[in-house]
Structure 1
Amino acid sequence: MRDNGLTGTLPCCLANLTSLQYLDISYNDFTGPLPWCLANLTSLLCLDISSNNFKGQFPVWLLNNNTKLERLYLFNNSLSGPLQLPIHPHTSLEELDISINSFNGHIPTKIGAYLPMLQILNISRNYLKGSIPSSFGDMKSLEHLDLSSNLLTGGIPEHLAMGCISLQLLALSNNRLQGKIFPTKFNLKSLLPRWLGNKSFLMEIIMSKNHLKGPIPLEFCQLESLEVLDLSENNINGSLPSCFPPSSIKQVHLSKNKLQGQLSDGLSKKGNIPDLIGTFFDLTYLILSNNDFQGEVPISLCKLSQLRLIDLSHNKLSGHIPPCLNITIVTVASDHVLSLERLVNMSLRKGETIEFTTKTRSYSYQGRILSYMSGIDLSNNKLVGAIPYKIGNLVGIHTLNLSHNNLTGLIPSTFSNLKQIESLDLSYNNLIGKIPPQLVELNNLAVFSVAHNNLSGKLPDRIAQFGTFEESSYEGNPFLCGQPLPKSCNAIESQPKDSSIVGEDNDFIDMNVFYISFVVSYIVMLLGIVAVLLINPYWRRRWFYIVELWTTSCYYFVINHLHK
């Protein structure tokens, strides 16, 4: 009866089906409380009432009577009240999902003892508070644990870290947890997808938006199957472990922490994100923004053929932008995203997102749309040098932000190849020359800014997308002219008098050439005078006479003034 638009209350006549083993009434519009008569379905193995509008408390009576029940899905309803445990331990229940409800109170301290055989437990997106019970460590078969988006406080129990030896996914994001990421003893190293056989799947640790502090434990290096690590928006400090990240990693989210060190090429240097990161060929998202990383952008990032999003913004990176920097453009959803969508009974990953700034705003991407997003954000660093023209080869990129750096040189005309780009921000640099007129070909461009540079000349024609950009896109460039700026274009106004560049985009004087020419001319003039004096005796005598006369005059002038 799944997804049939059924309404009203659930009829008690279902209780007559005493041999019923599977009941799925999810994705309908049933209301009211769950009828107690369902307790008569003692042969029931799976009950799915998710995505309805059922009200009332947690149906603990269902667990007390249906001792054979293996899977219970209650997510996305209007259930409320405390989470209750059965009278006796329920040794058959393997999967329990009560996410997206209004349950409140504390998680029962003995939950591990009364539900010992759970493999999947999702109680996310409720109003549960208090600490995480250490009895979770008694669930030896627990593979997926999602406690995210609640009001939990305290730290992560040591018994959980030591006891849950089968854990594959741990989601603790959007709580109020604090303390160390994990205690010293750490045994979560069996993150293998037994329940999907040999098919590869995302192995995830998600603990973002808490108050966790301290360094990333060395034990993370033991997680050989870890593919997603999200520790963003915490107070994590220190440097990354020398063996970090694991070789199977696909997503790294460490933004908005207090990590530091250099992005250099040594595994043993404290605080580095190693150049060897280029060997992690499956890495798709690298999010390290809002930290204190220093050094250069590792050139080894060029080796990551699956990388789609690079966010190194708001750090202290210096040096040049690697000319080989690349991202992957995806036109179809990847296998792991499709796999997630096939898990219709699991809402575990529906709330998890990747945050990335584009069009001057931070957006959250998830699901299928995430597989289409691609971009590079190196803004708010100390990068220098010219923008590599090869970036213009990233023809499918959606956003590029190089603002608030110390970049120099011209805007590459190859940027006209970025046909899919929607946001291009080059503001607050030291760029010079003209804005390439070919950029008007970028028909998908929604946000464009070159403000606060040293650009000059006429603005691109106000056609297509460029007809929508206002003065704020160009402000802070005193030698730009044309609409929408108030300055009209003429040869005098549009050229800076002290420009030091000459090239294909302007006709300004190169000051270095000027100084060299002046010195050479001066030396040539002196050598010419010496040559004339050596060749012509008459001019030589006249020269010495003038020098002698000038010297005598100066001498008597000084003597006369000294006597006075």
Structure 2
Amino acid sequence: MVVKASFVASPRYERCEHSRSDRLVSDVNLSSNDFSKTSLNHLLGGFLDCELQIGRPSPLVELDVVDCNISGSAHHVLCSHRVKKYPILLRNAINLGNNHLSGVIPDCWDKWQGMYYLNLENNYFSGAIPGTLGSLRELQSLNMRGNKLSGKIPASLMNLKYLITLQISRNELVGKIPKWFGNLSYLRILNLRSNNFVGNIPYELCYSTHIQILDLADNNLSGSIPRCINNFSVLSSKKVLSDNQISLNAFKAFNGSNSLVMKGRDDTYNSILGLVILLDLSSNNLVGNIPSEISLNIIHHIL
């Protein structure tokens, strides 16, 4: 069962007498409401408490609270005693994007095994990317773009073997682009735009041959363009995109949004994101010529 609702104030949970059929709710969609006068804990805490009062709570597979004007911290919901006692309460997908959440991103993701979709984009989160995100072994889509995150990309993220999309653009991240990105064999979208990354584009990145969107623009990268970029099978048109190559969960991951700058214009792509092909290395300190090994098809997609 999917619950979708519209509110102009915080929903109230005055009754917890659920019948067995009431407990079959799997998806809760509260997106595009105005909860500016409430916190995330107040918004969701009542619902979770009701589930716990039932005795054996049913799993909430997907939670969508995008674009709701929610402010404050996410810690009390994501790291609460409810989650520690019943980690199945919020099981697979969380979308908290386009709100006013602040503070550090909670570092308790080891309690969220089985999650495949996490969207924290366009908030005011600061501090480092938490290392426990590497515990989400089933994660396919991770979106933290448009925050104030700082520090380096934690090495624990190399454990996300099934990651398809990684969007951390428009933050304040530093350091070199990790070589272990090349071990993420399912990676299709890598957006590191508008950070403070330095150093060369690592050759090892070319091992992620399925990448179709690679945006490294507006950083402080140096050196030359790796000759191995022609290894990207989709960008070089060696491989044609087809829907049957994308699993159901991966399809949801591609149904997220991504802000891409193309020909100087910032556009947001939603349902067609999985069909976009882009290579953007602009506004760095790269030198040298475009390697002769790079095909004309890739040159066509370079901005």
The two structures have a TM-score, normalised by structure 2, of: 0.72
Which residue does 2:26 correspond to in 1? 45
Which residue does 2:13 correspond to in 1? 36
Preserved CA contact (<8 Å) 1:143 1:168 = yes
Q: Are residues 282 and 36 of structure 1, via their aligned partners in 2, closer, same or farther at CA, if it must alter by over 3 Å? A: farther
Q: Does 1:364 align with 2:266?
A: yes
User: How far apart are residue 43 of structure 1 and its match?
Assistant: 3.0
Which residue does 1:348 correspond to in 2? 256
What are the equivalent positions in structure 2 for 1:81-230 lying under 5 Å apart?
Answer: 81-84=72-75, 85=78, 86-87=80-81, 88-89=83-84, 90-91=87-88, 93-110=91-108, 112-160=109-157, 162-182=158-178, 184-186=179-181, 188-191=183-186, 203-230=188-215
User: How far apart are residue 157 of structure 1 and its match?
Assistant: 0.1
Q: Residue 57 of structure 1 aligns to which amino acid in structure 2?
A: S
Which residue does 1:76 correspond to in 2? 67
Q: Residue 185 of structure 2 aligns to which amino acid in structure 1?
A: S
1:57 to 10, 23, 39: 39
User: How far apart are residue 51 of structure 1 and its match?
Assistant: 1.4
What are the equivalent positions in structure 2 for 1:348-497 lying under 5 Å apart?
Answer: 348-349=256-257, 351-356=258-263, 362-367=264-269
Identity of matched residues, %? 25
User: How far apart are residue 67 of structure 1 and its match?
Assistant: 4.5
Which residue does 1:248 correspond to in 2? 233
The two structures have a TM-score, normalised by structure 1, of: 0.40
User: How far apart are residue 48 of structure 1 and its match?
Assistant: 0.8
Q: Residue 180 of structure 1 aligns to which amino acid in structure 2?
A: K
Preserved CA contact (<8 Å) 1:212 1:236 = yes
Q: Which structure would you say has the larger RCO, counting Cα contacts within 8 Å and 6 or more residues apart?
A: 2
Preserved CA contact (<8 Å) 1:164 1:188 = no
Deviation by residue 1:413-438 (Cα, 9 ceiling, x = unmatched) = xxxxxxxxxxxxxxxxxxxxxxxxxx
Q: Residue 80 of structure 1 aligns to which amino acid in structure 2?
A: S
| Inter-partner Cα distance in structure 1 for 2:10 and 2:101 | 15
Question: Which SS does the other structure have where 2:221 is aligned?
Answer: strand
**What RMSD, in angstroms, separates the aligned Cα atoms of the two structures?**
3.1
| Inter-partner Cα distance in structure 1 for 2:177 and 2:133 | 17
Give unpaired runs (5+ residues) of structure 1.
1-20, 193-202, 251-279, 284-305, 307-333, 357-361, 372-564
The number of equivalent residue pairs is 247
Give unpaired runs (5+ residues) of structure 2.
52-56, 276-303
User: How far apart are residue 60 of structure 1 and its match?
Assistant: 4.6
Question: Which SS does the other structure have where 2:125 is aligned?
Answer: strand
User: How far apart are residue 180 of structure 1 and its match?
Assistant: 1.1
| Inter-partner Cα distance in structure 2 for 1:179 and 1:214 | 8
What are the equivalent positions in structure 2 for 1:254-293 lying under 5 Å apart?
Answer: 280-281=236-237
Q: Does 1:23 align with 2:18?
A: no
